[in-house]
Amino acid sequence: MLTKEDIAKRIAKEVKDGYYVNLGIGIPTLVANFVRNDISVEFQSENGVLGMGPFPFEGEEDADIINAGKQTITTLPGASFFDSAFSFGMIRSKKVDLTILGAMEVSENGDIANWKIPGKMVKGMGGAMDLVASAENIIVAMMHVNKAGESKVLKNCTLPLTGVGCVKKIVTELAVMDVTPNGFKLLERAPGVSVEEIIKATEGTLIVEGEIPEMVLD
């Protein structure tokens, strides 16, 4: 099974030259560490940063330069800072080519729940609401099952939704899947993980066609 860093490394392969990319809190923030050096990518954070780089090395952090998850970040030459109103104008006007988010649940028709567990205190939905409503290409980075071993890749989400029918692709510790009108289509499996294990961990409809290749991370 993949580590969180491996999931980020696999998603980094989906980032293309010239993309403007928004990275959500959690696993997605790691993606900036693994993007190829031979392409130019602008990472955007909804708190008002364009041009984020990898995480800083220990001892080189600047507490004034943070992402939306309040983690210290680095910036690349030419980076810019602006207020959140400008940032969300950028998002809502669909200037972001790719959004990478974490999730608690994803349904087989592309619904996403990633902001609230009933009974637990939360501050609000945050920027995810705007991101999933505005982005045309959304990839979810998540664990396939929860701590109890229950699937998070479902027929229908059980938690309050963040967005409806918006997720295009999911990368978990077990698999890469596309969201299609007929369910989750299995594209790749993690090294050493069998198709049977993925089927067992997936509550939603899983489409398996032909031989499923292992992910290539390097």
Cβ contact 186:175 at 8 Å: yes
- Residue 44 bridge partners (DSSP): 22, 50
**Which candidate in 14, 42, 46, 58 is catalytic?**
46
Active site residue 173: no
Looking up tokens 């993949």, which residue turns up? Answer: 2
Q: Helix/strand/coil (H, E, C) string of 34-94?
A: CCCCCCCCEEEECCCEEEECCCCCCCCCCCCCECCCCCECCEEEEEEECCHHHHHHHHHCC
> In the 8-state DSSP scheme, what is residue 204?
S
Quickly count: other Cβ atoms within 10 Å of residue 57's Cβ. 8
Strands (E), the chain: 20-23, 42-45, 49-52, 75-81, 98-102, 105-107, 112-113, 138-141, 153-154, 169-171, 175-180, 183-189, 206-207
Give the torsion sign (CA, 195, 14, 138, 73). positive
> In the 8-state DSSP scheme, what is residue 118?
T
Catalytically annotated residues? 46
